[in-house]
């Protein structure tokens, strides 16, 4: 018996959670864009706001793809790529916060956040694999 048939509906809760997370973060990019602007590496051409709004739109689109069973597999793949793609912004935040006058716990949190990208990628991979 395959894993899929042993676990009917496996992954739906994971897909819902991933979709909700992406929807929430994507919405925040439009409601409160300023903190996201600060994450954009200055080496990138163009305005930080354009990257903020573009990544917010991407998160909303990926959230929708993950939410719909017919596009869930593609959504899982796109979520993996999105989490990899935004990683430089997380690195930029950690660099900026470590160099700032922010309290030590915030600096430590910014650094500790970097490896948390791995579980997010793994959750997206799980959604991708279970949507076959």
pLDDT in tens, 67-82: 999 999 999 999 999 9
Residue 16: predicted pLDDT: 95
Instruction: Report H helices in 1-132.
Output: 3-6, 12-31, 34-37, 48-67, 72-85, 87-99, 104-113, 117-130
Instruction: Give per-residue pLDDT as tens, 36-70.
Output: 998 888 888 999 999 999 999 999 999 999 999 99
Structure-block tokens of residue 81: 């790529």
- Give CA–CA dist 13/89, Å, rounded: 28
Give the pLDDT band of residue 11 (cuts 50, 70, 90): low
């Amino acid at each position: 018996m395959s894993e899929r048939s042993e676990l009917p509906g496996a992954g739906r809760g994971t897909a819902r959670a991933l979709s909700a997370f992406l929807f929430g973060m994507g919405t925040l990019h439009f409601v409160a864009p300023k903190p996201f602007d600060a994450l954009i590496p200055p080496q990138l051409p163009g305005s930080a706001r354009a990257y903020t709004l573009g990544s917010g739109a991407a998160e909303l689109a990926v959230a929708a793809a993950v939410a719909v069973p017919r596009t869930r597999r593609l959504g899982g793949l796109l979520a993996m790529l999105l989490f990899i793609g935004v990683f430089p912004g997380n690195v930029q935040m950690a660099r900026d916060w470590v160099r700032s006058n922010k309290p030590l716990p915030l600096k430590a949190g910014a650094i500790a956040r970097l490896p948390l990208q791995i579980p997010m990628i793994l959750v997206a991979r799980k959604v991708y694999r279970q949507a076959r």
